[in-house]
C-alpha cells in the first residue's frame, strides 16, 4: 500500500470516530498463517502414495531406474530396494513440502474451513493485543483483512458486542469486499470503516469529553 492509501484509511478512521465513542483499529496482513501443519500432511500423503505406486509397479520402475542410472543387469538386493524407497520418500516429501510452503498451491490445497479458522484466530489475537479492553468504555472495534486468504473479520469489544449483533457488520463487509474485488484495498478498508462508524454512531454516540484512545493509522503486519 502507498502512503496515500494509508492516509486514506487513517482519515476514514478519524472521520468515523467523530460520530461515536467507539475506537476503530484497522489491520491488514498479507497472510494469516504459514499452514506448516497442512504442508506436512500433504507432503506425507504424497510420499506415501509414491511408495505405494513404487510397490505396485516395481516391474516398471526398477528397470527405468536402472536405465536412468546406467546400470547393467543390476541385482536388486533388499538393501538397494530400501535405499531406493528412502530416496523416493525423501524427494517426494521434500518437493511437496517446498511446493506447499512457497507456491500458491499450498493455500489452494488448504481446506477453506481451515483458512477461515486461522484468519479468525489471528484476528482475535490481534484484537486482544491491539484493541480489547484498551478503551475506557471497552468500545474498540477491529477491522482485520487477510489478503492471501481473501478473508476479513470485524471483532468488537465487550460493550459493543453486548448491543450490536455480528450480523450488523454485514454492510461493512460488503462495502469492503466490493472495492477489494477491483484491487482497491485502501478504498475497501475506508468504506468498511465508514459503515462501522455508522453502526457505532447509532449505538454509542460521541460524548463531549470523548478522547482518541487508539491510533487511527492503518497497521500492517
Q: Dump pLDDT digits (tens) for 66-95.
A: 888 887 767 878 888 888 899 999 999 999
Cα maximum dimension of the chain: 92
Angle in degrees, CA 139, 195, 7, rounded to 5? 85
Query: Can you give the pLDDT at residue 214?
Result: 83
| Domains in the chain, CATH or no CATH each | 3-33+111-220 (3.10.310.50), 36-108 (no CATH)
User: Do β-strands 219-220 and 23-29 pair in parallel, antiparallel, or remain unpaired?
Assistant: parallel
Q: How far apart are CA 84 and CA 81, in angstroms?
A: 5
Beta bridge partners of residue 146, listed in sequence order: 29, 151
Q: 3-class SS at 19?
A: coil
Grid coordinates of 76:
536388486
pLDDT digits (tens, 9 = 90+) for 129-187: 877 777 777 888 999 999 999 999 999 988 888 888 888 898 899 999 889 999 899 99
Amino acid at each position: 500500500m502507498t502512503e496515500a492509501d494509508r492516509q486514506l484509511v487513517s482519515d476514514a478512521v478519524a472521520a468515523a470516530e467523530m460520530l461515536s465513542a467507539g475506537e476503530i483499529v484497522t489491520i491488514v496482513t498479507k497472510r494469516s498463517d504459514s499452514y506448516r501443519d497442512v504442508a506436512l500432511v500433504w507432503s506425507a500423503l504424497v510420499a506415501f502414495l509414491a511408495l505405494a505406486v513404487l510397490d505396485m509397479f516395481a516391474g516398471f520402475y526398477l528397470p527405468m531406474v536402472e536405465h536412468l542410472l546406467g546400470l547393467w543387469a543390476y541385482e536388486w538386493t533388499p538393501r538397494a530396494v530400501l535405499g531406493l524407497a528412502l530416496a523416493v520418500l525423501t524427494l517426494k516429501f521434500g518437493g511437496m513440502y517446498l511446493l506447499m510452503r512457497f507456491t500458491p498451491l499450498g493455500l489452494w490445497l488448504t481446506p477453506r474451513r481451515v483458512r477461515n479458522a486461522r484468519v479468525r484466530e489471528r484476528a482475535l489475537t490481534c484484537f486482544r493485543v491491539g484493541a480489547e479492553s484498551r478503551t475506557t468504555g471497552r468500545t474498540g472495534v477491529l477491522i482485520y483483512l487477510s489478503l492471501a486468504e481473501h478473508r476479513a473479520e470485524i471483532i468488537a469489544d465487550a460493550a459493543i458486542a453486548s448491543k450490536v449483533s455480528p450480523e450488523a457488520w454485514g454492510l461493512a463487509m460488503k462495502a469492503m469486499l466490493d472495492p477489494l474485488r477491483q484491487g482497491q484495498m485502501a478504498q475497501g478498508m475506508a468504506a468498511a470503516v465508514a459503515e462501522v462508524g455508522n453502526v457505532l454512531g447509532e449505538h454509542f454516540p460521541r460524548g463531549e469529553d470523548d478522547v482518541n484512545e487508539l491510533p487511527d493509522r492503518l497497521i500492517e503486519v
